[in-house]
């Protein structure tokens, strides 16, 4: 296969991962902020306590995503990589 083929093959994977993690997580974060605002009420809207719960649940998912990113950085520094072969991520040798 030519370089172009390899590049395009890598590119769509990066695009997919980027969309899920790079756009998906910030959107979850934005949803969390929206829930937080809804939970606090303000203006004419009445406070909705569930908003806060939902907000912190969403923030927790985002934090997990960031931790995954940190793990990739640290693991690659030690010559390891993260395997997604099982559903959950696992640290394996490169």
Partner 1 sequence: MILVLVVVTALGFDFTNGFHDTANAMATSIATRALRPKVAVALSGILNLIGAFLSVEVALTVSNAVVRIQNSDGTPKESLTSDGGTALLLIVLAGLIGGIVWNLFTWLLGLPSSSSHALFGGLVGATIAGLGWAGVNWNGNGSKLDGVVGKVILPALISPLIAGVVAAVGTWLIYKVTVGVAARFTENGFRWGQIGSASLVSLAHGTNDAQKTMGVITLALIAAGDWTDTKNIPFWVKAACAVAIALGTYLGGWRIIRTLGKGLVEIAPPQGMAAESSSAAVILASSHLGFALSTTHVATGSILGSGVGKPGAQVRWRVAGRMVATWLITLPAAAVVGALMWYLGDFVGGVAGAVVIFALLLVAAGGMWLRSRLAPVDHTNVNDEWDEPAAVAERVPTGAVSR
In the complex, what is the shortest distance from the CB of residue 55 to partner 1, in angstroms, rounded to a whole number?
9
| Near partner 1 in 9-28, by CB under 8 A | 10-11, 13-15, 17-23, 25-27
Q: Does the footprint of partner 1 cover residue 56 (CB under 8 A)?
A: no
Using rule CB under 8 A, residue 47 touches partner 1: no
DSSP 37-81: HHHH-BTTBPP-HHHHHHHHHHHHHHHHHHHHHHHHHHHHHTTEE
**Closest approach of Cβ 8 to partner 1, in Å?**
8
Q: Interior CA angle at 60 toward 33 and 35, to 5°?
A: 25
Asked if 57 touches partner 1 (CB under 8 A), the answer is: no
Shortest reach from residue 88's CB to partner 1, in Å: 16
Residues 6+ apart with CB under 8 A from 93: 79, 80, 81
């Amino acid at each position: 296969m030519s370089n172009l083929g390899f590049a395009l093959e890598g590119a769509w994977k990066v695009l997919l991962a980027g969309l899920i993690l790079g756009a998906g997580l910030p959107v979850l974060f934005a949803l969390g902020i929206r829930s937080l605002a809804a939970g606090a009420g303000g203006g004419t809207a009445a406070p909705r306590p569930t908003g806060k719960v939902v907000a912190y649940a969403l923030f927790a998912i985002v934090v997990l995503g960031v931790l995954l990113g940190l793990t990739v950085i640290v693991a690659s520094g030690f010559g390891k990589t993260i395997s997604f072969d099982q559903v959950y991520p696992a640290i394996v040798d490169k």
